[in-house]
Amino acid sequence: MANMKNAEKRILVNAKKEVINNQYAATMKNSIKKVEKAVANNDKKEATDCLKVAIKNIDKAVKNGVISKNTCARNKSRLTKKINEME
């Protein structure tokens, strides 16, 4: 348990930030899964639509410090490559 007032505040702030960060991460992961599911179903139109949303969510996660820039670039590259390899 924290003994100082600033330590108590840090605990509260960190708990709030954790919830927000988890929301960004979950949204990002779900949008990536939607793209992969559309690719698995061979639906290129739906996959490209989902890709736009996924890229937006990935960029939001980077902006808020949930993931690094390198992870962002890798995820976007992999998803785009999967769609481009479709028929």
Q: How far apart are CA 29 and CA 33, in angstroms?
A: 6
- The pTM for the full model equals 0.87
pLDDT digits (tens, 9 = 90+) for 17-75: 999 999 999 999 999 999 999 999 999 999 999 999 999 999 999 999 999 999 999 99
How would residue 1 be classed by pLDDT, with cut points 50, 70 and 90? confident
Return the beta strands (E) in 1-87 as ranges: none
Token pair 């739906």 in the structure block, residue: 46
In 3D space, the residue among 63, 43, 85, 83 whose CA is nearest the CA of residue 28 turns out to be 63
